[in-house]
Amino acid sequence: MKKLSLYFKKPLVMELREQPVPEPASGQVLVATRLSAISAGTELLIFKGLFPEHMAVDATIASLSGPFHYPLAYGYNCVGHIVATGARVDPGWIGRQVFAFHPHESHFTAAPEDLLAIPQEVSMEDAVFLAGMETAVNLVMDGRPLIGEHVMVFGLGIIGLLTLALLTRYPLAHLSGVDRLALRRKTALALGADRVLDGTDQDGKAALATATADSHDDGKADLIFELTGNPGALNGALSWSGFDTRIVIGSWYGGKSAAIDLGGRFHRDRVRIASSQVSTIAPHLAGRWSHVRRLRTAWSMIEAIRPSALITHRFDITRAQSAYDLLAEASPDVLQAVLVYPHT
């Protein structure tokens, strides 16, 4: 049996490497991957070569500690089961289902403390959304929605849909989503959004402004999440902002940039723009919250929402190039694509 490891070889080219399956060291276990989810945000930036060179890939994850450069093994959504243990690890670990922030590959070794046990109530297909759900939890925590607010989510990819699903659990006056793809808008409505827009429909925008103006002064949003991955979309978010509107940017733009209109009302309206990134806990929450507590919350939200319904495409790991090509084309039929490792 061989280990299959996926690498970003150069822009738009994936490479699948075969190596012997490793033996776990004395303090390690061997994990056989069952599924790994592709992040259509960060991973597509790497696929297209739009990453900032020499920046650390992720300083908080040991398997992603190196700098951005090709060839690069990347990914952080693996679920599988433990098939072997080292001499100093309890053999009782064998058979346990686990999640790992680890690149796409069929087998890997890890210390048990670097793995997250999947709760019995959670399927592997739901568990593969853990990183995305933790990001969504972090976004909502940073946004701090209030009862009776009008909240908007720009960008209804997986992170946007998970964030919206969490926001439906708040007593908001109005929750709306914006995305150009019809399947994403339809899914947002099914998850509980009050209204969705495609970003270009002026009649729909006027109707939404009228509907939300019934509940407060001006029909503007109180809180906006920008999750499109497109820096130019921030101008659309700004067009919905009013006095003291909070805009939380969860997108990572990589090497992309765009002209942002900070003239006009932005200055006088005291619009607040903040970044949100899951690697850290917001300073104002760090006294009470830890990564462990946030992960525990993410697991409970996975159990409640069951996000596996968002998986639209499954690709054998040997067809990974086709999966990334499809995502790069911005296919309107894709929500979440996963890689499958049938030999495990």
Domain coordinates of the chain in residue numbers? 2-118+306-340, 132-275
pLDDT-derived band at 31, boundaries 50, 70, 90: very high
Q: Given a cut of 70, is residue 55 above it in pLDDT?
A: no
User: Quick one: pLDDT at residue 180?
Assistant: 95
Indicate the Cα dihedral angle 129, 279, 183, 239, nearest 10°. 160
**Strand, coil or helix: 36:** strand
> What is the separation of C-alpha 99 from the centre of its chain, rounded to a whole number of angstroms?
15
Report which of 75, 96, 77 is spatially closest to residue 31, judged by C-alpha positions: 96
**Strand, coil or helix: 182:** helix
pLDDT-derived band at 66, boundaries 50, 70, 90: low
Q: How many CA atoms lie within 13 A of 328 on its CB side?
A: 18
Phi, psi of 51 (to 5 degrees): -105, 155
CATH (residue range 2-118+306-340): 3.90.180.10
Q: Phi/psi class of residue 95: alpha, beta or left (left: φ > 0; alpha: ψ in -120 to 50)? A: left
Strands 336-340 and 2-10: unpaired
pLDDT-derived band at 65, boundaries 50, 70, 90: low
The CATH H-level (homologous superfamily) assignment of domain 132-275 is: NAD(P)-binding Rossmann-like Domain (3.40.50.720)
User: Quick one: pLDDT at residue 255?
Assistant: 78
Q: What stretch of H or E contains 324?
A: helix 320-328
Percent of the chain residues topping a pLDDT of 90: 78
Integer CA distances (angstroms), 165 to 10, 33, 299, 306, 342, in order = 35, 28, 14, 10, 31
DSSP structural state of residue 67: B
Answer whether 158's CB lies under 8 Å from 310's CB: yes
User: Quick one: pLDDT at residue 320?
Assistant: 97
Its pTM stands at 0.93
User: Quick one: pLDDT at residue 292?
Assistant: 96
Q: Which residues pair with 151 in a beta bridge?
A: 175, 223
Q: What stretch of H or E contains 323?
A: helix 320-328
Tokens of 171: 């007593």
CA angle 182, 172, 297 (to 5 degrees): 85
Q: Given a cut of 70, is residue 216 above it in pLDDT?
A: no
User: Quick one: pLDDT at residue 62?
Assistant: 58
**Contacts of residue 258, Cβ cutoff 8 Å, sequence gap at least 6:** 230, 231, 232, 234, 235
Give residue-wise pLDDT tens across range 88-128: 999 999 999 999 999 999 999 999 999 999 999 999 999 99
Give residue-wise pLDDT tens across range 318-332: 999 999 999 999 899
